[in-house]
């Protein structure tokens, strides 16, 4: 999804961990609340959400033996990631 809407690579500012059972509207409300509290610039501060960051129809990139190579760890451990948001 992000490949369709982004103009280029995104630098992760916040890693989002969510429960698949949460209504998506509630997740958005929680993220907007978080952004307000942290005074985020929603045009420039990227939230990494696996649903949109990973290709859900091709999860080959998740089959790494070394966890450090997975998109999740790369996002969390990236230089620009400030923390994790739990939704």
What does the radius of gyration of the chain's CA atoms come to, in whole angstroms? 13
Q: β-pairing, 12-17 with 46-49?
A: parallel
pTM of the predicted model, to two decimals?
0.77
Reported as a single tens digit per residue, the pLDDT across 42-72 is 888 989 887 777 666 666 766 767 888 888 8
Q: How far is CA 68 from CA 19, 34, 46, 48, in A?
A: 22, 27, 21, 16
pLDDT value at 30 more than 90? yes
* Average per-residue pLDDT for the chain: 85
Distance separating alpha carbons of residues 48 and 9, to the nearest angstrom: 12
pLDDT value at residue 65: 76
């Amino acid at each position: 999804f992000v490949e369709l809407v982004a103009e280029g690579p995104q630098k992760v500012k916040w890693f989002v961990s969510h429960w698949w059972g949460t209504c998506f509207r509630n997740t958005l409300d929680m993220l907007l609340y978080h952004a307000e509290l942290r005074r985020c610039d929603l045009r420039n501060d990227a939230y990494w959400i696996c649903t949109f960051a990973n290709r859900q129809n091709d999860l080959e990139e998740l089959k790494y033996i070394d966890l450090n190579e997975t998109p999740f760890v790369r996002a969390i451990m990236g230089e620009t990631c400030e923390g994790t948001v739990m939704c």
